Amino acid sequence: MDFRIIFQELLLGLILYFLLTFLKKKNIKTIDMIILPSIYLILISAIIPSLKDISFWILVIYFGIELLSLAFLNKKDLLMNEKNYYKNIFLTLLLGFLIYYFFLLRVDNAFLDMNIFKNFVWLLIILYALKKLDVASIKIKEQENSNFDLRYQEYVIVSYAKLKNKYNYLIRSKDKEIENILYSFLIYEDYLHGKVYRMFRNFQNRFNKENACYGIMGVVSDHFITDEESIVLMKERLEAKKKRIKKSNNKDEDLKKLINEKYKETKNYKEIVKIIGFIEEFNKEEK
């Protein structure tokens, strides 16, 4: 064996010794102390290809230095558990030998294969592109939702103006909360069930002897009632219910009780609250 190579292995074994001694002082985990020497062998074999086939001797030299330091520097007092210490030496050598025999001796170059690295780079590019596309689709969806909310708000305000012009004489009240709830009911019902649908429903219900929905408010009745009559009936029900409700400190809960006179599902309740918010905001701007 070339003297230069022997010197390199001795030097690298000494470097490994100092490196692991330093890491021990940092209280590194035992499993890391077992694995790191094998990683060191792979790195050295990749950086200095001429040492690849004899790199295992670096590990042997390291343990030789380690055992000599324990013997001559009187470090046996540092061994908290001598049995475990020698067991770890055996496991480190075993792992190093397996890496050396089944990997380093069977490859031409221990360094990373650029062809494999090329695939990895393309994988990163694809993942990055997919992430960007996902972010872009989220932004588009958010923009669409924002545009829908604006269109919905415009629809509510336009409908409110039309319905107020037509039915204000029936809905007008000193209680602005009742008034706003009634308009929100009208707008929501008109949104869900247009005029043509209501005409067909009224015609169908004339032949149905059971209770059915009538009028623009969709009030349940056992006989036909007009749009105007449905508004008056709903107004009376809301006013009566508000008198029965005991006021609390939670305005949202009190409002929910009134809305529940007609809509009991959470989805419908949220839509009514949203419409009421649009109406209140519009009225503030008008003032």
User: Residue 37 in contact with residue 21, Cβ under 8 Å?
Assistant: no
> Does the pLDDT of residue 171 top 70, yes or no?
yes
Q: Which has more confidence, 278 or 152? A: 278
Give the CA radius of gyration of the chain.
41
pLDDT of residue 265: 79
Residue by residue, DSSP assigns 6-51 as: HHHHHHHHHHHHHHHHHHHHTT--HHHHHHHHHHHHHHHHHH-GGG
Residues recorded for the chain? 287
Residue 233 token pair: 């009936």
Q: 10-18: long-range contacts (C-beta < 8 A, 24 or more apart)?
A: 10/61, 12/44, 12/51, 12/58, 12/61, 13/57, 13/58, 13/59, 13/60, 13/61, 13/62, 13/64, 13/65, 14/61, 14/65, 16/40, 16/58, 16/59, 16/62, 17/62, 17/65, 17/66, 17/69
User: Residue 131 in contact with residue 123, Cβ under 8 Å?
Assistant: no
> What separation, in Å, do the N-terminal and C-terminal C-alpha atoms of the chain show?
99
Q: What value does the mean pLDDT take over residues 210-217?
A: 81
Report strand pairing: 212-214 vs 219-221.
antiparallel
Residue 170 CB neighbours (<10 A): 16
User: Helix 114-171 crosses helix 227-244 at what angle (to 10 degrees)?
Assistant: 100
What distance lies between CA 42 and its chain's CA centroid? 39
116-120, 220-224, 234-238, 260-264: which range is least confident on average?
A: 116-120
Could you read off the pLDDT of 176-195 as tens digits, one per residue? 888 998 999 989 888 888 88
pLDDT of residue 77: 46
Residues linked to residue 221 through DSSP beta bridges, in sequence order: 212
Helices (H), 103-113: none
User: Residue 216 in contact with residue 230, Cβ under 8 Å?
Assistant: yes
Q: CA of 43: how far to CAs of 47, 52, 95, in Å? A: 6, 10, 15
Q: Which has more confidence, 143 or 94? A: 94
Confidence of residue 121 (pLDDT cuts 50, 70, 90): low
> Does the pLDDT of residue 119 top 70, yes or no?
no
Could you tell me which residues come within 8 angstroms of residue 234 by beta carbon, excluding any fewer than 6 positions away? 182, 185, 217, 219, 261, 262
Confidence of residue 73 (pLDDT cuts 50, 70, 90): low
Alpha carbons 194 and 188: distance in angstroms, whole number: 10
Q: By C-alpha distance, which of 88, 29, 84, 26 is closest to 62?
A: 88
Could you read off the pLDDT of 42-65 as tens digits, one per residue? 888 888 887 778 888 888 888 888
- Predicted TM-score (pTM) of the model is 0.49
SS3 220: strand
Residues linked to residue 220 through DSSP beta bridges, in sequence order: 213
Q: By C-alpha distance, which of 103, 85, 8 is closest to 50?
A: 8
Q: What value does the mean pLDDT take over residues 254-263?
A: 81
